[in-house]
Structure 1
Amino acid sequence: MITIKVSIKLNKLLSEKNISHREFARMTGVRHPSISEMCNNETKRLPLDNLAKICEVLECDITDVLQLEKDPSE
C-alpha cells in the first residue's frame, strides 16, 4: 500500500520572498517554533487559523503551501 503524506512548502515560499522565519512569525502572529517546524516539515498538527494567516500574509492559496506526495520510504 502506498503511503501519502502532506508536505509543507513554506520554507520555499519564504525563501522566494526573502522573508526570514522570525520575520514571518512577527507578520503572522504564529510562534517562531511553529514556523520552524512547518518549514522543516516536522509539524504533526496545523491549526486552520494558522494556515489561514499564512495564506493571507503570503497572498496565496492553501495549495501553494500544502502538497500531497507519496512517502519516499515506500
Structure 2
Amino acid sequence: MAIKCLLSTIMGAKRLKMTEVAEGAGLARSTVFGLYHDKVTKVDYAVLDKLCSFLNCQPGDLLVYVPEKDSQS
C-alpha cells in the first residue's frame, strides 16, 4: 500500500499504550489497533480529527505517502 500509518511510531515516541490512545481520543480499541498495525484500508476524517487532537499532531504526521517500487525494475 502506498499510504503508511505512523501511529505506532508516534505512540512509541510518546510512550502511549493503545488503551490510553483509544480512551483519550474517544475511539474504539479496534480502530486504534488497526491503525497501529497499519492494517486499515480507509480512515474517516472524524478518526483523524480525534487522533490529531489527542496526540497534538497534524494528519501528515500520522499518514505518509510511500511510493511503491516499480515491479519491472
Task: Calculate the TM-score normalised by the size of structure 2.
Answer: 0.89
User: Which blocks of at least 5 consecutive residues in structure 2 are unaligned?
Assistant: none
- How far is the alpha carbon of 1:19 from its aligned partner? 0.6
> Percent same amino acid among aligned pairs?
17
Query: Which secondary structure state, in structure 2, belongs to the residue aligned with residue 44 of structure 1?
Result: coil
1:12 aligns to 2:9 (yes or no): yes
Matched residues, number: 71
Instruction: Find the partner of 2:32 among 29, 32, 35.
Output: 35
Shift of 1:73: 7.9
Instruction: Give the structure 1 partner of residue 68 of structure 2.
Output: 71
Unaligned runs of 5+ in 1: none
Q: Distance in 2 between matches of 1:10 and 1:63?
A: 11
Q: Normalised by the size of structure 1, how large is the TM-score?
A: 0.88
Moved over 6 A (4+): none
